[in-house]
Structures are given as C-alpha cells and as structure tokens.
Amino acid sequence: MTTIQAPATADTLVVSEVFGPTVQGEGPTTGRRASFVRLGGCNLSCSWCDTAYTWDSSRYDLRAELRRLPVDAIAARALAGSPGLVVISGGEPLMHQNQPGWTVLLDTLTSAGADIEVETNGTIAPTTETLASGARFNCSPKLTHSGDPLDKRIRPDALTALAESGRAIFKFVCSGPDDVDEAAELIHRYGIPPATVWISPEGTDAEQVLHHGKAVAEPAIRHGFNVGTRLHTLLWGKERRR
Ligand code: SF4
C-alpha cells in the first residue's frame, strides 16, 4: 500500500494495511472474493492474537505499523480489482466509528456497490450511523482461553445490540469441546440464536486448524451451530495480507 500521510483533521483513519482482492477466510461468506481494510488499535489483548501488529506496542513498533491515511485513498485501494465484498477488520474497527472518516468510508464503499462486513470482538455497540450503513457484522466474542478478563471481553449491552441488529453472526474461536460448551452458555445467556453461530477452529497453520476443526465439529453440530474454518490459513499459513 502506498504510504500517504494525512492531517488528522481531514477525513482520515488509522490503518494497519489495506489489501486484496483475496478471499474471506472465515464465517458464512468464506471463500467470497474480498478486500480487507485493517484498522489500527484494539481494546483487548488476546493471547493468541494473529494481528497483534495492529495494537501491541510491546512487540511491534506501531509508529511503523500504523498510518493515518485519507479515506479516499483507503477506499480506492480497497475497491481496486472490484472485490464485491470489503471486510473492515482490525484490531477492533468499531473503536473508529466516532471519527468522521468512518462514515465517509462506509458511504464510499456502499456507493461503489460493495457489500461491507465489519469484524468486531463484540465489546462495542454499533452506532446509529454504523447500523444505517447496511454493513453486516462478524462478531467474535472472546472466550476464557483468550486470556482477557471477563468484564473486558463480554459486554452484554454491545452483544445485545449486535444480536438485535439482525445483521450479525457470532463467530467463536475454539480449540476443543469445552470452548464450544462455553460459547453455548454465552449465547443462551444473551439470547443469540444458535443458527447465527459459527465455530471457528483456532490455529495459525493448516495442521492446527484441521486438528482443532476435528475436535470442535461434532460438539458444534450437537449444539445447533455452524462449523467454519480459516480458509486463508489453510491456503497461505501465516502469510500477511492474505
Ligand atoms: Fe487480536 Fe481480535 Fe483479540 Fe483484538 S480482539 S487482541 S484483534 S484477536
């Protein structure tokens, strides 16, 4: 991506990377041709995070990793190659939704005819403007094995708002049957319909994804959930911008 420095006063957003077209690797649109806008910063710090370069200043030089870019440049790069779907990811992208550049980005992508998916950890409720954009939400609440404290990773108001939007699916990263049971407990507590749940096997290489996929598939099906994968990991491993 071209590095363009822009003043914070313009319609800008803090970006880690914009790439594609590639494929959506997770959730109900797995395999769909898509580009990604990865925004900087996160309000959690999951132990197994595979995009820690967007938020972890103890391991990465965030001044080199993140750039404030004009929204028109972000949108132009995301729409290059006519991907059809643009996934806004992070980090935690909903941390940016009160910046003017956020709605400009959503409007620009929608006007160009792109479908939008926002990948969120489910701790921040979408604003009225975000909901009005027509974006769909891939919400991934974090379980105990993330290492995040319960009161940080589970925010009932945000989960309820996402469920009530009617445009969210809930993706749980699981390594084994106990994780699937924990996901089941959560969704029953917050009234999330099982048909909107995808169980995604944890793993940063094909071997782990398959190993965990085999461990979680049966319990997921028993609970009435869908079973997902990490297609980008199966195809390209840890390679970035895939
Ligand atoms: Fe990483 Fe997502 Fe957890 Fe944030 S919420 S630390 S981006 S896995």
Phi and psi torsions of 240, nearest 5°: -80, 160
In this structure, is residue 212 part of a structural domain? Answer: no
In this structure, is residue 225 part of a structural domain? Answer: no
What are the Cα distances from residue 164, in Å, to 10, 18, 156, 226?
33, 30, 12, 20
Mean pLDDT of 179-196: 96
In this structure, is residue 43 part of a structural domain? Answer: yes
Among 13, 71, 51, which residue's Cα sits nearest to residue 204? Answer: 51
pTM of the model: 0.94
In this structure, is residue 130 part of a structural domain? Answer: yes
β-strand pairing of 12-23 with 33-39: antiparallel
**Which residue in the block uniquely carries the two structure tokens 């967007």?**
54
**Which residue in the block uniquely carries the two structure tokens 């914070």?**
8
In this structure, is residue 95 part of a structural domain? Answer: yes
Range of the domain at 114: 12-170
Atom of ligand 1 nearest to the CA of 90: 7
pLDDT-derived band at 1 (thresholds 50, 70, 90) equals: very low
Share of the chain above pLDDT 70, in %: 96
For residue 142, what is the domain's CATH number?
Answer: 3.20.20.70
pLDDT in tens, 117-168: 999 999 999 999 999 999 999 999 999 999 999 999 999 999 999 999 999 9
In this structure, is residue 17 part of a structural domain? Answer: yes
In this structure, is residue 196 part of a structural domain? Answer: no
In this structure, is residue 175 part of a structural domain? Answer: no
Count of all residues that appear for the chain in the document: 242
DSSP code string of 69-109: EEHHHHHHHHHTT--SEEEEESS-GGGGTTSHHHHHHHHHH
Q: How many domains are contained in the chain?
A: 1
Residue nearest to atom 7 of ligand 1 (CA): 91
Q: From 17, 26, 42, give the residue whose CB has the most ligand 1 atoms within 8 Å, as the site to mutate.
A: 42
Q: How far apart are the first and last CA of the chain?
A: 14
Q: From 142, 145, 173, give the residue whose CB has the most ligand 1 atoms within 8 Å, as the site to mutate.
A: 142
Alpha-carbon gap, residue 60 to 53, rounded angstroms:
6
**Which pLDDT score is estimated for 141?**
98
**Ligand 1 centroid, distance to 42 Cα (angstroms):** 6
